Amino acid sequence: MNNIRPFGEWSPQFDGSVFIDPSAQVIGRTTIGHDSSIWPLAAVRGDVNFITIGARTNIQDNSVLHVARPTEQNVEGFALRIGDDVTVGHGAILHACKVGDRCLIGMGATVLDGAIIENEVLLAAGSLVAPGKRLEGGYLWRGAPAVKARPLSSEELLWFKYSADEYVKLKNQYLNPA
């Protein structure tokens, strides 16, 4: 498969429970957790640093995932780390940041270098998270730049797991068409 390919000495790592659409690109130092999915036209490029995607996480259509190389000022650069049970909406850009468990990154949102999104954050569609910013868990964040809008309801907190579970079911249909 030429859409899943090495960069230098590193090759993407994942098991047979992972769905990667044939039109998605997964490159280099990328580790994808059990039951996760990468949807059409997503780009996951672990070339100058590494990417880890947790279990039951879905990266939806046209999303861009990338990293930042080491520099004199930042000797480790910035990897991209995404936790478990995360939904990354269509067209999101995650660049060299950290996303905790049970989060929803809205469609068209952008998260920049060194930003940290704690567990259980709902980032609204079209939001922009500035470099180095930390988003406290348990809240809806929205805007450009993203600001804390309100605490999440118990229903919204349950939605994170529901969304992850539904994408596991969907990717299983793609892996095992009837």
pLDDT tens digit sequence for 38-70: 999 999 999 999 999 999 999 999 999 999 998
Write the CB contacts of 154 (distance below 8 Å, at least 6 apart in sequence).
none
State mean pLDDT over 119-131.
98
Domain boundaries, the chain: 4-175
> Measured between alpha carbons, how far apart are the two ends of the chain, in Å?
23
* pLDDT tens-digit map of 84-111: 999 999 999 999 999 999 999 999 999 9
pTM of the model: 0.96
Write the CB contacts of 58 (distance below 8 Å, at least 6 apart in sequence).
36, 37, 39, 86, 87, 88, 163, 164, 167, 171
Name which CATH class applies to 4-175.
mainly beta
